[in-house]
Structure 1
Amino acid sequence: MFDNLRNDALAGRGAAQDELDRTGALRDLEQAHADELAAVVPPLEAQLAATVAATAGPDAAVAEARATVAARTAERDASQAAWDASAAALRQHENNEPEVLGPNGKPSPEHMAWLRELRQLRNRLAAAGQRLQTAQAALDQANQVLTVRSQEAAAAAGAVAEAQRRLEAARADVARAEQVVEGLDRALDTLRQNVARADAGLAALDAREARLLAEPLDRTDLQSAADDELTAYLGLRRGRRVQLDRRLAARTARAAVLTASDATAEELAVVHDDIRSWPELGNVPGLAAAAGLLADIIARSRAQRATPPDSRDDDLAAVTAHLTAVVQILADTVAKADAQRDAARARLDALTAQLREHQAAGA
């Protein structure tokens, strides 16, 4: 008897040790993988720092280009003001032209002076126009430089964003790998406890064997050992009875759940038929999909009913997902219908108000 018990216990202990060894080897592999991923992080951090530092030059160039644009804008505005003043002076002078001939019929000295000043004003306007063109060209060039510098700064910022993205992705990979290692560590703790329990069971079995087979036989001790064995056996029997009762209760509860699910499916069949028979089915997006989901639920339920409850493999999670989707579709459909009704009511109210205004105006 004890040889069979010991063989079973040794087999269980060997299986627990094998699982412990496999999990330990897997944990070592995952730790090596996590270390490899962690080694990638420092270079990426250095690359990010270098990329951030490299943005200082483009940013400074943008600031300088903006300052230049501001200065060239001020120069252009000043040239524009000077040109406007010259143009206004010329127009005023042209509007004050004196008589060409004097009282004696000869060219008027005032007109000659006016002509000289006219030429001067035109020359000033032309010079102001030239300065304005030069200032505008300088401003355009400054804006072009600013555009280039801004593009360079944007490229540098994009490089920083990409470096940051790679660093965050690497850190996320490390975090996931470390979580796997931590999970394996917890599994190893559990497996070590299993091996320890198996060792304790073997030790207890050895103690039982030594007690029952000790020479010379001690009747009193044997009676006590037999009582202990009977108590342990009765405890196992009660535990098995509890497990059987729980299994029966679970089977009964599952059968009740499946019966309720079948009844719900038949109720949904009425809803499905109502949707399919609605004349406006094709004009309402989503209703056909909802009807399809309901048809799938009904078909699955009816296909399972020919199988005994203990053998049925109903996917109740899929049924729940389908019903959730159907409810959402119907809710969206009702919301859209309410919105259309409210919009139509608003249009009707507006037309009614217009009609009343026309009737009042006609009266």
Structure 2
Amino acid sequence: MEKNLYFKREVFIIQEKNFYKEIILELLNEILLKSYLDKVSDIHIESQENNVRIRMRVDGTLYILKNIEKDLGIKLISKLKILSELDIGEKRLPQDGRFKGMYLDEKLDYRVSIVPTLFGEKCVIRILKNNLLDLDLNKLGFSKLNLNTLYGAIGKKSGLILCVGPTGSGKTTTLYSIINYLNKENLNIVTIEDPIEYQLNGINQIQYKKEIGLDFSEILKRVLRQDPDVILIGEIRDIETAKIALTASLTGHLVLTTLHTRDSISTIERLLGFGIEPYIIASGLSLIQSQRLLRKICISCKGIGCSECLNGFNGREAVEEVIVINDKIRSFILENKGTEKMKEYLISQNFISLIDNGKQKIKNGITTEEELNKECLL
């Protein structure tokens, strides 16, 4: 049976007997409480040669919380395995699981990944807050121009919308925010994910399971028979998934997905590099958004550093660039002569790049030049 954590009197309490007096539970309570209060996205529990290091990621940056005795760390990972319904005796193979929690009325999901390392197991806990208020397109930091452009694209009945960028650039949050916005009773929305990050009421969410033959392309073929209006694919990982996603967008479906590319223009090069016919890309693709997450200067101390922030920063917001696939862009894709002419055309149309939008955020006092260079100059 799945076990839950509940926040009460400033401790997380596991709803199971014989746990209350354990030192290991007190440590887990302390870590989870700290992670909640500090808005941590990931907890790293790492086996070292002589101890176990616990680190936390805040606004994209890891910092050390504490080092604990090796034996205590092993017991902590075992406890997390029990909570996540994993094999406590398996220490040679990676394992993935999850458990739930609650703070007051806020539901929390903890996704657990365990892998064997040289000095023992490493556990990473991804913290997922099921707060729909956080999944709001208006609060992600997009410029007004690009936000309106995005609303226009997702308001259509068909087309492929690609959200691109490196790992940790906020792509998944953007897609979930779109789904949250579109989540109405008159639409059949289906997602194909690995893993399911946020559990949303009213959405049909399907877990990718390659080990039993249930991969993205296979699920997508089946989903198309389920009369969907909107399809979210967690990530395009192969040529077949890309082709099916584009084909689905041509047959009356709005398709949302992500792709790991450097910027919006290189996304088109990537799709062409898959060997997909240019006419399918030109006809199916509606919009490409490339994005990054930039740390925000703390408003309390103006970046000096205080109890409210971490080294002068508090929170992150997106910086983005958007390409709408209009008739001119389609002609460039069909010609398949590279993207240089496309770049020239976009510049002539006053295309606002990631860097341009980032510079505006610097001007507005939201972030710093160092932060922009670190995240966007790849």
TM-score bracket, normalised by the shorter chain, equals under 0.3
Q: Calculate the TM-score normalised by the size of structure 2.
A: 0.15
TM-score, normalization by structure 1: 0.15
Larger Rg: 1
Which structure has more relative contact order (CA 8 Å, sep 6+)? It is: 1
Report the structure, 1 or 2, having the larger strand content: 2
